[in-house]
Amino acid sequence: MLKQFLERAAQDQSVYITDVREAFQARGTRPFHLHILLYDRSVRIFDLRLPEAAGEDERRFVAEYVYAGVYNMLSALGGLRMDIYLDFADQGALELARSLDQVFQLDRPKAARTGYGKCLNVNERVLTALFGGEERFAFVIHDCAEEPAEERPQAVTGQPVFARLPARTAGKLLLGMDIGGTDVKLAVSVDGQLALCKEFDWVPGSCTRAEEITGPLLLLTRLLRAAGSLYRAGRDSEIDRASLDRRASLAEMERGTAIMERAAGEKLCNFDAIGLSFPDVVIQNRIVGGETPKTAGLRSTPDLDYEEQFSKITALNEVLSACVVPGGPVMNTNDGPMAAFSAAVEQAAAGGDMSRGFFAHTLGTDLGSGWVRADGSIPEIPLEVYNFIIDLGSYGQRSAARDVRSIRSTNTGLPGALQRYASQAGVFRLGARRLPREAPALWQALLDRGMFVWEGETLTVPTEPEDMRKACLEFMMEQAAGGQPACEEIFREVGECLAVTWRETEYILRPEAADRTLFGRLVKLPACFDLICEGAGRREPGLRQYAADGSLANTALMKQLDARPDCTVAQFAQAVGAIYYGCLGLEKNQ
C-alpha cells in the first residue's frame, strides 16, 4: 500500500489525501485519534488509523499524511486544543505526535512561522477576536486507554430565513460589495430595484500599506452612495457614468464622487445596510485571518509592523459604517460563505428546501468555500478550504511557489495545496503542464501574447506592467469551450480536484448540505462547467454541482441582474447576494 503511493508520487502523479485515508482506515492498525475542542467548546473526533511503516521513506510519507490532515482540520475548523489519543507502546506514533509542536511551530511568534505554522497564525487571531487572548492553542497527548466516549453532537436548529430577505429591500438604499483578489464588484438596490453595478480592477497583494486596501473600498462605497442617492431622487441623468466604468482610475472615481456628492447635496443618503464579502477569514464580522496572498505586500514590507497594519483592515467595517445610517448594519463575511448565502436566497425564492442550509465554492483567483445554515447563520470557523493539502504526491512539481507550474501554496509554501488545483492558478498550472506537449502551437500562442512569461527558469502569468491573469484564463476557457482537447482535459482535471475537495469537506466539516453550487469565472462558460462536472464524475458519480448562472436568478434583484447586458450572474451574483446579506442584518435589528 505505502509502496504504491510512493511509486505514484515519484512518477509525478497525484496521490490524493482522500485515497490515502481510505486505504489507511481500511488496513491501518495503529490508533492516532484526534479530538479537536472547537471554539464553541464542542469536540470533533477523527479516529485516524496508521499503517506499519518500513523504512524512512514510508515513515516520512505517513508523517506527511498526518501533518496534512491536522493542517486541513485546523484550516477549516480552528480550535482551542487538539487532544491526541494513541498507544504509548507505539514509539513511532508517540514521536509523531510529539513532533506536532515543532512542525506547527507553536512557540514561534507569528511573523516567524512558515508552512504548517501559518494556520496557527489565523487560529491565534480568531482566539483573540473571540476570547480576548485568554486562550492559547495546544496539542495534548494521551494514552488511548484514557480516551473518552464520543458524545453525540447536538443538532443545529433554526428556521429557514432566506425566503423573507428579498422583501427587506423595499424602501431601502442598500449596497452589496464582493471583494476579490483581482477585482471588486458592487451592486446598489434602491427600493427593490437593481439600480447600479460597478466593477473595479485591483491587485491587493501588491499593496504595501493598509490604506491602499481600505482607501479604495471606502472610495467605492462613497461613489455608489452618491450615485445611488441621485438615482433615488429621480436624477439619473446627473450620475457620472464615466466614474462607474470598469476602467475608471482612482483619480477619476475621486472626481466623480466629488461631483455627485455636491450634486446630491441634502439628498445624499447613507445606506440603510451594507453587505460585503472579503477574501479572508471573517469571524464575528471582523477580518481576522491575515495569511492570504491579498495581504502579501503588507507582510513583506519590513519597515512596518504587520499586525498594526492588518488591524486597520480588521477595522474595515468601522470605516464603512460612516456611509450607513445610525444603527444600520455592516454585515461582513468571507467570499465563500457569501456565495453559499447568495445561492440559498435564490433557491428559497424558487421554493427550494433550505432546511439543510447550503454549501458553495467560488472558483476565481483562489477557491473560496462557503457554508451557511438554514437560519442564515455562518459557522464561526476559519473555513480556509483553499489551503487544504489534497495531494501528497506529484514530487516533480514542488518547485518554488512563484512558478505557475508549482503545486506549492503561494502563502504557505506547502506542496499539494488545493489553491493550485481548483482555481485560476490550477488552470494555469495544468495548462503549463499539458499544453507544451499536447498542443505546442497553442502553447506558443500563449507565450507570444505574453500570457505566460519566462523569467529565467521561472514561468509566470504576469501582473505587471499589465495584469494578464484574466485574459489568460478567458483565452484558455474559450479554447476549452471550442473543443480544444488539451484545454478540455484541463477543466476535467479541475473537476476531479473538486470531487476530492467534496470528499475532504464532507469528512472534516460534515455539513448537512451535500450538493455544491459553483460561482466565479471558471464556470462563466457553460461548456467549461460541463467539463468540470464531467471530471468530478470520474471520482464521485453521485456529486451534484450547480453553476451560479442565469438559472440561479429567482429573486427580483437577481432577475434584473440577469437581464442587464453589461453584467452576468456568474460575475455579480455575490454582489447582489451581499445586498441580501445586509438585509439579514436588518432582520436581526428588527
CATH number at residue 569: 3.30.420.40
Q: Are 580 and 342 in contact (CB under 8 A)?
A: yes
Q: Are residues 520 and 403 in the same domain?
A: yes
* Number of domains observed in the structure of the chain: 3
The answer to whether position 370 is within a domain reads: no
Q: Are residues 542 and 562 in the same domain?
A: no
Closest CA to 344 of 313, 314, 310, 378: 378
For residue 128, the model assigns a pLDDT of: 87
The CATH number of the domain holding residue 506 is 3.30.420
The answer to whether position 512 is within a domain reads: yes
Q: Are residues 171 and 241 in the same domain?
A: yes
Q: Are residues 169 and 263 in the same domain?
A: yes
Q: Are residues 491 and 404 in the same domain?
A: yes
Confidence of residue 113 (pLDDT cuts 50, 70, 90): very high
Whether the predicted pLDDT of 202 surpasses 80: yes
Q: What is the pLDDT of residues 477-492, one digit of tens each?
A: 999 999 999 999 999 9
Q: What is the pLDDT of residues 387-423, one digit of tens each?
A: 999 999 999 999 999 999 999 998 899 999 999 999 9
Element (H, E) at 178: strand 173-179
Q: Are residues 414 and 527 in the same domain?
A: yes
- Mean pLDDT calculated for residue range 6-23: 98
For residue 110, the model assigns a pLDDT of: 92
Q: Are residues 290 and 342 in the same domain?
A: yes
Q: Are residues 26 and 81 in the same domain?
A: yes
Q: Are residues 403 and 329 in the same domain?
A: no
The answer to whether position 356 is within a domain reads: no
The answer to whether position 361 is within a domain reads: no
The answer to whether position 155 is within a domain reads: no
Q: Are 51 and 24 in contact (CB under 8 A)?
A: yes
Its domain, for residue 480, covers 385-547
Whether the predicted pLDDT of 157 surpasses 60: no
Tell me how many degrees the CA angle 79-85-91 measures, rounded to the nearest 5.
125
Better-predicted residue by pLDDT, 272 or 300: 272
Distance CA 531, CA 422 (A): 13
The answer to whether position 481 is within a domain reads: yes
User: What nine digits make up the cell of 195?
Assistant: 439600480
Closest CA to 216 of 174, 259, 251, 188: 251
| Among 113, 146, 179, residue at a domain's last position | 146
For residue 567, the model assigns a pLDDT of: 87
The answer to whether position 366 is within a domain reads: no
For residue 524, the model assigns a pLDDT of: 87
For residue 549, the model assigns a pLDDT of: 66
Q: Are residues 92 and 185 in the same domain?
A: no
Q: Are residues 542 and 460 in the same domain?
A: yes
Q: What is the pLDDT of residues 536-572, one digit of tens each?
A: 999 999 999 988 766 779 999 999 999 999 888 878 9
For residue 550, the model assigns a pLDDT of: 62
Strand partners, 199: 185
Q: Are residues 333 and 224 in the same domain?
A: yes
pTM for this model (two decimals): 0.83
For residue 589, the model assigns a pLDDT of: 84
| Among 146, 171, 193, residue at a domain's last position | 146
The answer to whether position 461 is within a domain reads: yes
Q: What is the pLDDT of residues 39-67, one digit of tens each?
A: 999 999 999 999 999 999 999 999 999 99
141: left (phi over 0), alpha (psi -120 to 50) or beta: beta
For residue 153, the model assigns a pLDDT of: 63
| Among 146, 171, 195, residue at a domain's last position | 146
Whether the predicted pLDDT of 576 surpasses 60: yes
